[in-house]
Structure 1
């Protein structure tokens, strides 16, 4: 069984992001039928190679997560039981939830650290909360460009209406991407202007000292 803690920050931190932790999502497990098994292994891969894994034992209304984590240079075993809960769906059937072992709140996602716990218990923020204004604009723009089947990046130009897309849909998406592209370009131009002004001040200051 693969271990955790190599190349990632798994320490408790109020500044940590969700992307700093590996996680398990009960919605995927339910969709893939994993919870109907008695036990299974769950793995994470990078560049086609397995980098970590956990063993999951399934019981009635509960699961047990077993894995190893590296703390203070030593490997430690984690064996934690997590209760499950069900809620009815509006269109029939039911939805499974984890019950966080630390706060007893329902959660769809549990993060893997020194103990399995929900995002609130680890005080994790989403990566998008740390984005700059430009990064947010580019992320929104790239989503729209993906819908248009255009290459990501507002500097890559336009590729026209995708085959099979209705003109109404295309025109709406085109207008959104055009607005976001103009905003991103204006922001970049403004930032470059500030940089150029800063460089001019530095250059003038150096020239005065030399003379």
Structure 2
């Protein structure tokens, strides 16, 4: 299979950071998952459904990532490898933690790793931030989808709003998010109509 980061799977990305699962070392630190010996399975979900998972185990100076992946509907392949850590001093005291990107030939100090066949930095996958590639209507749709995901609603603004308040969410928060979602959806739909009108003008 080659070493970590070998092959083409991480070299020719044409997507944005939102298209990839990610692990943020700042979140691991807040959750206490950088303490030696701690192990936890982390899951990703969308629309209330789990879309992926990974086991993270902390060891001195590194974390071990353990998961499965498959390319283009092929066979599931197990992956288990270390990601080494680094620290830098903070101005107000303490230290800031970083991943050292495990992709072959990289080793960049980064806060977030993005997962394809391996977890690597944004530069190795050549990922852009969504704001670098999207139109205003696309940005509004993406922000609306984030609210939908937080609410546990089905993905996509065309599914409509108000699928119900998540359990445990305060009504004031729910009503505020509904208003934000509706405003963003309206903005996104205007962008879609403008795009369709421009396309129809070409024919």
Gaps of at least 5 residues in structure 2 are: 1-8, 145-172
Preserved CA contact (<8 Å) 1:21 1:113: yes
Query: Which structure is higher in helix share?
Result: 1
Shift of 1:111: 0.9
Preserved CA contact (<8 Å) 2:85 2:99: yes
Structure scoring higher RCO (CA < 8 A, sep ≥ 6) equals 2
TM-score, length-scaled by structure 1: 0.61
Preserved CA contact (<8 Å) 1:16 1:124: yes
Distance 1:134 1:100, change over 3 A: same
Preserved CA contact (<8 Å) 1:23 1:110: yes
Preserved CA contact (<8 Å) 1:84 1:97: yes
Gaps of at least 5 residues in structure 1 are: 1-9, 157-180, 203-211
Q: Structure 1 runs of 4+ off > 4 angstroms? A: 133-136
Query: Which protein is bigger by CA-based radius of gyration?
Result: 1
Preserved CA contact (<8 Å) 1:25 1:108: yes
1:82 aligns with 2:83: yes
1:126 aligns with 2:129: yes
Alignment of 1:1-211 (within 5 A): 13-38=12-37, 39-72=39-72, 73-102=74-103, 103-135=106-138, 151-152=179-180, 153=183, 191=194, 198=201
Task: Write the deviation string for residues 73-109 of structure 1: whole angstroms up to 9, x where unpaired.
Answer: 1111111211000111111111110000120110100
Secondary structure in structure 2 of the residue aligned to 1:29? helix
Find the aligned partners of 2:100 and 2:32 in 1 and give their Cα distance: 19
